Amino acid sequence: MATLTISKEDEKRVKALGFLSNKGTDNFSGRVITVNGKLTAEQHVAIGEAAKKFGNGNVVYTTRLTVEVQGIPYEKIDEFRAYIEKAGLATGGTGSKVRPVVSCKGTTCQYGRIDTFDLSEKVHKAFYEGYRQVKLPHKFKIAVGGCPNNCVKPELNDVGIVGQLIPNFDEDACNGCKKCSVAKICPVDAAKVVDGILEIDKDLCNNCGRCVDNCHFDAIVDGTTGYKVYIGGRWGKKTAQGKTLSKIFTSEEEVLKVVEKVILLYREKGKTGERLAQTIERLGFEQVEAEVLSDDILGRKQEILDAKLHETGGATC
Ligand code: SF4
Ligand code: SF4
Ligand code: SF4
């Protein structure tokens, strides 16, 4: 095996920049941030060229939509960063901080209820870029999904956002048909005709919106766009399923605000080394939910950001 010459301090320094040591070598994988998994053709080409120029030619996709270029020698790291910067790209994504955002392709998917690429880019700007210097107890992962099919596994993230289309049902227009097209199309059997009228079981309905515009008598002509939010999920050595906030939000502004409140609460109340799931377990979901649904914590934003907290967080990658 080759003799390793990079000091632990230098390894730590470049790790904070998004360069992860390739085990047993003096080379690194440079983690390129894709914002939400969407790159232009030019950016793809730039990453490929950079892999040939500075790395070992391999480009690997991570499970959370970043792109790593393998085999970059330590002394080429700065040049690599400068090269991809010309294509509007940057490395990063490590540490006890807000991590790169993951999004599904809800923008183009036939089931997508929200513009996931647009929303996840806003989340990226506000909380990946905007909170880059903010130290947290551990890593903090955010996912944006387009519909209740949950391809992006929102409930296994610290915060998971899911697009909704809440059907607006007009009882007066319903004829109680023997063969109800709405009941037929509902994938979770939430819609049924009972006593001559359609009933939607709110506990079963997941607001997928598939019934919207599917009644020939115009009993459901439209719906309200919404955002369901899970908090406290995690996946890894330990797992936890996020719990849903009781409110379905109906504007992007509200969703962005709630994400910020969860991050601030985690920074303020989380113990260094614990994931949000543990913070919620310790404080109780009801208390956490009450705090993130109220605006009190935003009044303490500057104080929370200025506090000297979590100087060394719990994240190891
Ligand atoms: S979660 Fe829904 S919108 Fe997103 S990719 Fe899956 S089916 Fe499409
Ligand atoms: S929702 Fe439409 S299709 Fe279903 S029972 Fe009512 S009128 Fe008939
Ligand atoms: S929104 Fe989806 S789950 Fe709810 S009633 Fe309509 S089809 Fe069924």
Residues 72 and 12 in one domain: yes
CA angle (267, 271, 277) in 5-degree steps? 80
What is the distance between the alpha carbons of residues 91 and 17, in angstroms, rounded to a whole number?
Answer: 6
What separation in Å is there between the alpha carbon of 221 and the centre of ligand 2?
11
Classify strands 102-103 and 243-244 as parallel, antiparallel or unpaired. Answer: unpaired
Residue 22 has pLDDT above 70, yes or no: yes
Residues with CB under 6 A from ligand 3: 167, 185-186, 188, 190-191, 200, 205-211
Torsion angles phi and psi, residue 159, rounded to 5: -135, 130
Domain assignment present for residue 255? The answer is yes
Residues 175 and 160 in one domain: no
- pLDDT of 1 reads 53
Residues 74 and 130 in one domain: no
- pLDDT of 297 reads 98
What is the distance between the alpha carbons of residues 276 and 141, in angstroms, rounded to a whole number?
Answer: 10
Structurally, the chain folds into a number of domains equal to: 3
Residues 78 and 110 in one domain: no
Please tell me the residue having the least CA distance from ligand 1 atom 6. 151
Domain assignment present for residue 312? The answer is no
**Neighbour-count burial for 128-146, b at 16+ CB within 10 Å, e otherwise:** beebeebbbbbbbbbbbbb
Domain end call among 34, 55, 85: 85
Mutational test site, ligand 2, from 168, 184, 198, max ligand atoms within 8 Å of CB:
198
pTM, two decimal places: 0.96
What is the distance between the alpha carbons of residues 135 and 151, in angstroms, rounded to a whole number?
Answer: 29
Helix (H, G, I), strand (E, B) or coil at 16: coil
Mean pLDDT (whole number) for 233-257: 97
Residues 66 and 215 in one domain: no
Residues 159 and 232 in one domain: yes
Residue 205, domain CATH: 3.30.70.20
Mean pLDDT (whole number) for 134-161: 98
Residues 249 and 113 in one domain: yes
DSSP string covering 194-227: ETTEEEE-TTT-----TTTT--TT-S--EEEEEE
Residues 111 and 199 in one domain: no
Ligand nearest to the CA of 177: 2
Q: What confidence tens digit (pLDDT) does each residue in 82-128 have?
A: 999 999 999 999 999 999 999 999 999 999 999 999 999 999 999 99
Domain end call among 85, 110, 131: 85
Domain assignment present for residue 313? The answer is no
Q: Which domain holds residue 60?
A: 8-85
Domain assignment present for residue 93? The answer is no
- pLDDT of 4 reads 78
**Residues 6 or more apart whose Cβ sits within 8 Å of residue 304:** 264, 267, 268, 297
Residue 16, domain CATH: 3.30.70.3340
Domain assignment present for residue 139? The answer is yes
Could you tell me the two tokens for 67?
């792109």
- pLDDT of 2 reads 61
